[in-house]
């Protein structure tokens, strides 16, 4: 097994070709067998509902090569539950748990040589997706679907790593409506976010903070990550019908509680930004990205978080170390979040 010639410590969050992916097809009312492919391409009907009407969903999870040489997949069962939830949201059939697990674990195992070594800060990103592959021209769900699982080695989503970032609060773009598809991991939400994300990048910000679309009073989420703030020994994260329920955020809530903090999941008014001692964006890709400032694009108002320096605060640091400790196997997995790839 050749080791790929990659600079593991400098990997971007991007697509690097790997050896194999897996697929599983749904037709005549049933899912078939999980099959292996070495091609990064699929043949798709030009009328596929995924292409026209966005009938599709995806997931993001990671596998980590631990200090002990074991490969651990983080909370895959939660991603399976969420892909079923998203599938239901856009009228696709649920993928059975055993098929999802087989596709994920086989794909990781077959691409072992691409799992970044321990200590490089990188990991193997796992991207399952389910798409409507059957043809329809009227707006209706397809009769055929395809699960694909591919993997690619990645570094941190925000390339500066575990350092404070400046982000931009936007009011002229909504990522998702309160009763829309924001809570499902479907492509349309990301299409809706592209213009404001790219604009924020050009204006010097790492990502965007979206507000609730109805009242524009409360914090929703942070580009492709959830938002949290810390004050008075409390971990506070927005409750909203239009955000993705982040598995990383759920994990941080558990860890914060375990560290003796209070946890509040509730509406978070924009003005509260001025009260946070620390804040962060969290997600599989973002891990914990500490936020050092938030600028309101419309009013120009800047909310400085803590000291406003690159240096992450003590709570973010402790949460980050504990989360990564469990993922890389340096801390015991008390909550049963990881599964070793045998
Ligand atoms: N919010 C959005 C919009 C996302 O795309 C993601 C990434 O999956 C998250 C939050 C973080 O979720 P998780 O921690 O489950 O990766
Ligand atoms: C993830 O964190 O897994 C995501 O899906 C974010 C992404 C869209 C890059």
Same fold, 8-154 and 165-328: no
- Confidence at residue 144, expressed as pLDDT on a 0 to 100 scale: 98
Label residue 4 by pLDDT band (50, 70, 90).
confident
**Rounded mean pLDDT, 135-144:** 98
β-pair type (262-266, 234-238): parallel
Our answer on whether the CB atom of 284 is closer than 6 Å to any ligand 1 atom is yes
Q: For residue 1, report the distance from its CA to the centre of ligand 1, in Å.
A: 33
Helix axis angle, 247-258 to 76-89, nearest 10°: 140
Place of tokens 């080791």: 3
pLDDT at 2 over 90: no
Length of the chain in terms of residues written: 342
Q: What residue spans define the domains of the chain?
A: 8-154, 165-328
Which ligand 1 atom lies nearest to the CA of residue 221?
1
Which ligand 2 atom lies nearest to the CA of residue 246?
2
Neighbours of 41 (CB within 10 A): 6
Give pLDDT tens digits for 144-163.
999 999 999 999 898 888 99
**Rounded mean pLDDT, 86-92:** 98
The CATH number of 165-328, from 1.10.760.10, 3.40.50.2300, 3.20.10.10, 3.40.190.10, is 3.20.10.10
Q: Strands (DSSP E) along the chain, which ranges?
A: 21-27, 30-31, 35-37, 56-58, 61-65, 71-74, 123-132, 145-154, 165-170, 207-211, 219-222, 226-231, 234-238, 262-266, 278-283, 287-296, 302-304, 338-340
Instruction: Name the residue of 285, 286, 287 whose CB sits within 8 Å of the most ligand 2 atoms, as the mutation to test its pocket.
Output: 285
Which ligand 1 atom lies nearest to the CA of residue 182?
3
Q: In Å, what is the CA distance from 107 to each residue of 22, 37, 72, 274?
A: 6, 10, 13, 45
Which ligand 1 atom lies nearest to the CA of residue 222?
1
Give pLDDT tens digits for 244-279.
999 999 999 999 999 999 999 999 999 999 999 999
Q: Is the dihedral of CA 130, 283, 88, 51 positive or negative?
A: negative
Q: For residue 224, report the distance from its CA to the centre of ligand 1, in Å.
A: 5
Ligand 2: list residues with CB < 6 Å: 60, 224, 283-285
Give pLDDT tens digits for 34-75.
999 999 999 999 999 999 999 999 999 999 999 999 999 999
Q: Which residue, among 256, 223, 217, 214, has the nearest Cα to 237 in the 3D structure?
A: 256
Q: What's the first-to-final CA gap in the chain, in angstroms?
A: 17
Report the nearest-CA residue for atom 9 of ligand 1.
225
- Confidence at residue 159, expressed as pLDDT on a 0 to 100 scale: 82
pLDDT at 1 over 80: no
How would CATH label the architecture of 8-154? 2-Layer Sandwich (3.30)
Our answer on whether the CB atom of 248 is closer than 6 Å to any ligand 1 atom is yes
- Confidence at residue 3, expressed as pLDDT on a 0 to 100 scale: 86
pLDDT at 225 over 90: yes
Place of tokens 């890389």: 328
């Amino acid at each position: 097994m050749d080791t790929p010639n990659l600079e593991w410590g400098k990997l971007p969050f991007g697509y690097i070709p790997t050896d194999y992916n897996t697929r599983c097809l749904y037709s005549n009312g049933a899912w078939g067998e999980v099959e292996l492919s070495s091609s990064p391409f699929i043949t798709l009907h030009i009328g596929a509902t995924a292409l026209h009407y966005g009938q599709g969903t995806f997931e993001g999870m990671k596998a980590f090569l631990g200090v002990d040489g074991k490969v651990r997949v983080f909370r895959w069962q939660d991603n399976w539950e969420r892909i079923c939830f998203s599938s239901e949201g856009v009228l696709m059939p649920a993928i059975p748990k055993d098929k999802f697990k087989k596709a994920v674990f086989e794909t990781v195992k077959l691409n072992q040589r691409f799992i970044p070594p321990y200590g490089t800060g990188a990991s193997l990103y796992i991207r399952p997706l389910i798409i409507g592959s059957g043809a329809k021209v009227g707006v209706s769900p397809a009769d055929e679907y395809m699960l694909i699982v591919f993997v690619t080695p990645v570094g941190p989503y925000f390339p500066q790593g575990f350092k404070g970032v400046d982000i931009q609060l936007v009011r002229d773009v909504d990522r998702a409506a309160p009763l829309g598809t924001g809570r499902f991991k479907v492509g349309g939400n990301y299409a809706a976010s592209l213009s404001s994300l790219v604009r924020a990048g050009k204006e010097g910000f790492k990502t965007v903070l979206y507000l609730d679309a109805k009242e524009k009073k409360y914090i929703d989420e942070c580009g492709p990550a959830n938002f949290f703030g810390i004050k008075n020994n409390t971990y506070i994260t927005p409750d909203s019908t239009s955000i993705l329920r982040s598995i990383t955020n759920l994990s941080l809530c558990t860890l914060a509680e375990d560290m003796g903090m209070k946890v509040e999941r509730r509406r978070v008014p924009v003005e509260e930004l001025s009260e946070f001692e620390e804040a962060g964006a969290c997600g599989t890709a973002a891990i914990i990205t500490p936020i050092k400032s938030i600028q309101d694009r419309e009013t120009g108002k800047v909310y400085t978080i803590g000291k406003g320096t690159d240096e992450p605060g003590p709570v973010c640091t402790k949460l980050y170390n504990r989360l990564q400790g469990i993922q890389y196997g340096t801390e015991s997995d008390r909550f049963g979040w990881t599964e070793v790839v045998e």
